[in-house]
Structure 1
Amino acid sequence: MPKPLLEIERLQVDFELHNSRVNAVKDVSFTLGEGETLALVGESGSGKSVSSTAILRLLPEFASTQGAIHWHGSQGREELLSVSSRRMRRIRGNEISMIFQEPMTSLNPLQRIGRQVREVLDKHTTLRGQAARQRVVELFEQVGIPDPHRRVSSYPYELSGGQRQRVMIAMALACEPRLLIADEPTTALDVTVQAQILSLLKRLQRQYGMAILFITHDLGIVRHFADRVCVMRHGEVVESATTRELFASPRHDYTRMLIDAEPHGRKAPIAESAPVIMQARDLKVRFAIKKRLFRPTDYFDAVRGIDLTIRQGQTVGIVGESGSGKSTLGRALLRLLESSGEVHFEDTDLTHLDSSTLRPLRSRMQVVFQDPFGSLSPRMTVGEIVSEGLRVHHPELTRKQCIERVAEALQEVSLDPAMRQRYPHEFSGGQRQRIAIARALVLKPRFLLLDEPTSALDRSVQATVIELLRTLQQRHELTYLFISHDLAVVRALADTVVVMKEGRVVEQGDTEALFHSPREAYTRELIRAAFLDQAA
């Protein structure tokens, strides 16, 4: 065992909220050794992030903390909950650093990224002026930001998601800490960018000899990244083991549930004679990106001449990195975007129909979006949200008939119809996604566009939504266009996979054939980055 660097003993964190006490972390204990990677895993609300934030004493004022956090730092063994505020400020950044989940909320959008990294140097080092700028450039080089001399003058919005996360890593490593806390650092990233960030962290860990406390809900990452794992549930550590031991023989039922929640199973094939529901020929989408007076307008080609055929009962998975044109393709098929080429739905050519002519067809083509909280109005009850489409497409229905249709749709997605008087904020993420599915199902559609419908959910919740989608498809002979960057989910749901890059189809074919023997290098890269080549 490596020499202990961080020892947490019986940590407890309580939040005082409106005359009530929430016990967020309960009697948590674990040890992290020098140069070791320890993963804290669990679902949302399990206490992972609260435990890590308590280490740096960054909890809000209404939080109370008990227990002990022993740090073996530059001044020997210290108890972090009792050291002075001045000493704690020296430890933060210098000895312990943290990377947060969403870099865009952590970076100041009005400051250049070089200046933001220099703030860390100003606080914790004696470097100033040109020496500080040179150190920032060196850090950007270490974390793999291209053209670092120029990028120090960029603003966060000018960088990709992966580049912004690299800036956060550079900021955290500015003072060469002995411990890096990484709180879901890859959740919002594509699989290829995620793989790059994980590889970068491993390389920097070896270079600096630092320990990593890695917080995640993705066990696929943990299996390949961590030395040891602590599984948390409801604020408690329910199991702790080496990574190999935990995946080989999990002891706790909750751990086994998390492992089993990884997407699995395969979709039953459809009949070759199934009728065609949706078909596109030479579909193109072009966006105007810059309009100039007396000069030609600049354009961006988001979808570049795609042919696609989708049969009844089929699930076609669309995969690719951000910016590949996946969502744009889906919206173009439903004529939610201006496009060129041909689009046929059932026996109708949608290509030249105006909005009023399209409206009667909309009830048979529905969409479930990525973020259920963003797509559900917070000012409407669940009953109003689900019945909104009925009021538009079936005004002839009486109020009683609408209520009956809403109750039927909620039962279809395993929600109690009595919940229809509640508002979206009163539901969990998985329940909100079920409401979004019910809103689409209430119109009895034949075709569903599912745009990243499980990406914002924990794996266990994701598994229940996947099973729900399978059941609904079999029950109603639904046809799905399933857009995702999560290849494991696509593999479990899709008959056919279409791989997109820069607006073009680089490869498509039967799901199992494509995952077992991809022809294109780009497809192989996606599968390798998702750790599916090892699991195949």
Structure 2
Amino acid sequence: MTQSLLEIDKLSVTFQLPTGAVTAVKEVSLSIAEGETLALVGESGSGKSVTSTATLRLLPELAQTQGAIRFDGEDLLAVTPRRMRRIRGNDISMIFQEPMTSLNPLHRVGRQIGEVLTKHKGLHGSAKRRRVLDLLQQVGIPEPERRIDSYPYELSGGQRQRVMIAMALACEPRLLIADEPTTALDVTVQAQILDLLKSLQAKYGMAILFITHDLSIVRHFADKVCVMRYGEVVESGPTHEVFDAPRHDYTRMLLDAIPRGRKIPAPADSPVLLSARDVKVRFALKKRLFGKSDYFDAVRGIDLSVRRGETLGIVGESGSGKSTLGRALLRLLKSEGDIRLGETDLSALDKSGMRPLRSRLQVVFQDPFGSLSPRMTVGDIVSEGLKVHHPELNRRQREAEVIAALEEVALDPGMRNRYPHEFSGGQRQRIAIARALILKPELLLLDEPTSALDRSVQVRVIDLLRNLQQKYGLTYLFISHDLSVVRALSDDVLVMKEGQVIEQGPTEQLFSAPRETYTQALIKAAFLDDDAA
């Protein structure tokens, strides 16, 4: 048998809170050999990240640990803080989920990578700079001589994640912990990052502890899998065994949590609700000499139409113009071109002219926690639109509407006096949907509404959206980079790249026989060959 590089033996982590003790990890045991990839999977709150953080001894002081974490035979829970600092970053490195919050926005990326080399390898000056350039080149950063002096905000999401990988690999660690490293990335960038990690693993022979809730990635990437739930490992084994013959009900539920089925078509005689012709959005950049400005064309002459009861899926990578187009269609951004809601010419209306129509056009955003006011109760959040658009309603009537809206999205109306932080991610997204539905809109713009959710929660939200659409004849503009969700919800799909539509058509036709190379690459990167029909 191959000797384990990392061995976690009956690890338990308990947090001593003012309200009492909470055990986040319960007697977890796992092992990883040199050059092996172990995927730690489970939904939010299952204890995945706590387990990895305990491995690096980065838990807060209120956490108490029991058990053993042995790295190359040495118990990390028993070593001195000084010895742990030598191991951390040198022998064991970590890539975090959100690089923008992990990288210092005030320092150039070259300096941040260089700090690791100075601390652990004693490199300075030109030797350090050469090593940083080499690392940037290894992780596929274009023009490393220029990007070494860039700030994090000047890089794309994929480039920032590559910088995090370069920083983690600076000292050629023997174990790399990757905590949801691809969650916020487009499918093509996600595939590139996974390929990069695999190639670097082969080059350095390092072990990888890969933490994720995306099982389609695990199937392609990991040698072994540990499934966690409520702080415990409920199933583990070689990846192909766990996927082909799962033993635990929870594992089977996770594997079945794929958006399935296809949308019921709208009636053939449904009228066109929203149409657009030659829509353009241009953003002014910094001014040049003599008062002239540079411009960025975010949306470049797009035509589309959506019938009542239909869903138009809008897909493409970050920066392709998806969200900008959606906001322009709802007149939330200044644009050129002709936009019509039924027979009403929206492009001819100013802000005051649009105000009476706002109740017919509503938005559900990607991050419900960011779009819900933390200072307002759920009842106040959901009823806010009624106060603006239906001031004739009294307090009792508004409360009745709020109760009905919460019941519509399968939330207990008794919780309407709670605040957003007291709800899970899936519940917060339901609150956001209720806030939009209470005004009885005709059109909903859904901007990445499921990307921040676990797969099982995603499926429930998708089912909810389908049911509401069938019940009320709603029309959706569904923006997403998750192609499996788009396929399950959409009648037609529009593929965007660099502000232009490069392909569009009926959903099944586009997914089964994409014409454009870019569309083919998106579908391949999404691992849709594994999804059920």
TM-score (norm 2): 0.98
1:496 aligned onto 2:480:
no
C-alpha separation between the residues in 1 aligned to 2:148 and 2:351? 47
Question: In structure 2, which of residues 119, 126, 141 is the aligned counterpart of residue 123 of structure 1?
Answer: 119
Question: In structure 1, which of residues 454, 461, 464 is the aligned counterpart of residue 460 of structure 2?
Answer: 464
Q: How does 1:416-455 map to 2 (within 5 A)?
A: 416-455=412-451
1:505 aligned onto 2:496:
no
C-alpha separation between the residues in 1 aligned to 2:331 and 2:146? 41
C-alpha separation between the residues in 2 aligned to 1:303 and 1:285? 5
Alignment-derived partner of residue 359 in structure 1: 355
- Partner SS for 1:380: coil
Q: How does 1:27-106 map to 2 (within 5 A)?
A: 27-72=27-72, 77-106=73-102
C-alpha separation between the residues in 2 aligned to 1:108 and 1:324? 27
Alignment-derived partner of residue 300 in structure 1: 296
1:153 aligned onto 2:145:
no
Cα deviations by residue, 1:345-385 (Å, 9 ceiling, x for unpaired)? 01211111122221111111111111111111111111111
Alignment-derived partner of residue 472 in structure 2: 476
Alignment-derived partner of residue 396 in structure 1: 392
1:250 aligned onto 2:246:
yes
Question: Which residue type is aligned with residue 398 of structure 2?
Answer: C
Q: How does 1:199-278 map to 2 (within 5 A)?
A: 199-278=195-274
Gaps of 5+ in 2: none
Question: Which residue type is aligned with residue 328 of structure 1?
Answer: T
Q: CA deviation at 1:399?
A: 1.6
Aligned residues: 532
Q: CA deviation at 1:334?
A: 0.7
Gaps of 5+ in 1: none
Q: CA deviation at 1:127?
A: 2.2
Alignment-derived partner of residue 415 in structure 1: 411
TM-score (norm 1): 0.98
Cα deviations by residue, 1:154-195 (Å, 9 ceiling, x for unpaired)? 111111111111111111111111110000001111111111
Per mean C-alpha deviation after superposition, the further-off stretch among 502-511 and 17-26 is: 17-26
Question: Which residue type is aligned with residue 141 of structure 2?
Answer: I
Q: How does 1:126-145 map to 2 (within 5 A)?
A: 126-145=122-141
Cα deviations by residue, 1:303-354 (Å, 9 ceiling, x for unpaired)? 1000010001101100000111101111111111111110010121111112
Q: Which portions of structure 1, spanning 4 or more consecutive aligned residues, are displaced by more than 6 angstroms?
A: none
Question: In structure 2, which of residues 173, 180, 196 is the aligned counterpart of residue 177 of structure 1?
Answer: 173
C-alpha separation between the residues in 1 aligned to 2:368 and 2:100? 21
Q: CA deviation at 1:291?
A: 2.5
1:20 aligned onto 2:20:
yes
Q: CA deviation at 1:293?
A: 5.4
1:335 aligned onto 2:331:
yes
C-alpha separation between the residues in 2 aligned to 1:221 and 1:215? 11
C-alpha separation between the residues in 1 aligned to 2:411 and 2:19? 31
- Partner SS for 1:66: strand
Q: How does 1:2-13 map to 2 (within 5 A)?
A: 2-13=2-13
Residues 14 and 21 in structure 2, CA contact (< 8 A), matched pair in contact too: yes
1:380 aligned onto 2:376:
yes
1:528 aligned onto 2:508:
no
C-alpha separation between the residues in 1 aligned to 2:237 and 2:6? 17
Question: Which residue type is aligned with residue 251 of structure 2?
Answer: T
Cα deviations by residue, 1:452-475 (Å, 9 ceiling, x for unpaired)? 111111111111100000000001
Q: CA deviation at 1:504?
A: 0.4
C-alpha separation between the residues in 1 aligned to 2:56 and 2:330? 49
C-alpha separation between the residues in 2 aligned to 1:157 and 1:5? 36
Residues 318 and 481 in structure 1, CA contact (< 8 A), matched pair in contact too: yes
C-alpha separation between the residues in 2 aligned to 1:261 and 1:167? 32
Residues 279 and 337 in structure 2, CA contact (< 8 A), matched pair in contact too: yes
Residues 166 and 197 in structure 1, CA contact (< 8 A), matched pair in contact too: yes
Residues 216 and 530 in structure 2, CA contact (< 8 A), matched pair in contact too: no
Residues 38 and 212 in structure 1, CA contact (< 8 A), matched pair in contact too: yes
Residues 2 and 36 in structure 1, CA contact (< 8 A), matched pair in contact too: no
Alignment-derived partner of residue 344 in structure 1: 340
Alignment-derived partner of residue 188 in structure 1: 184
Cα deviations by residue, 1:405-447 (Å, 9 ceiling, x for unpaired)? 1111111000111111111111111111101100111111111
C-alpha separation between the residues in 1 aligned to 2:334 and 2:22? 50
Q: CA deviation at 1:272?
A: 2.7
C-alpha separation between the residues in 2 aligned to 1:97 and 1:131? 22
Question: Which residue type is aligned with residue 32 of structure 2?
Answer: L
C-alpha separation between the residues in 1 aligned to 2:396 and 2:464? 27
Identity %: 74
1:168 aligned onto 2:164:
yes
Q: CA deviation at 1:534?
A: 5.0
Question: Which residue type is aligned with residue 203 of structure 2?
Answer: Q
Question: Which residue type is aligned with residue 346 of structure 2?
Answer: L
Question: Which residue type is aligned with residue 464 of structure 1?
Answer: R
Q: CA deviation at 1:260?
A: 1.0
C-alpha separation between the residues in 1 aligned to 2:365 and 2:344? 25
Residues 26 and 236 in structure 1, CA contact (< 8 A), matched pair in contact too: yes
Q: CA deviation at 1:19?
A: 4.5
C-alpha separation between the residues in 1 aligned to 2:316 and 2:362? 22
Residues 34 and 211 in structure 1, CA contact (< 8 A), matched pair in contact too: yes
C-alpha separation between the residues in 2 aligned to 1:65 and 1:312? 57
C-alpha separation between the residues in 2 aligned to 1:423 and 1:86? 43
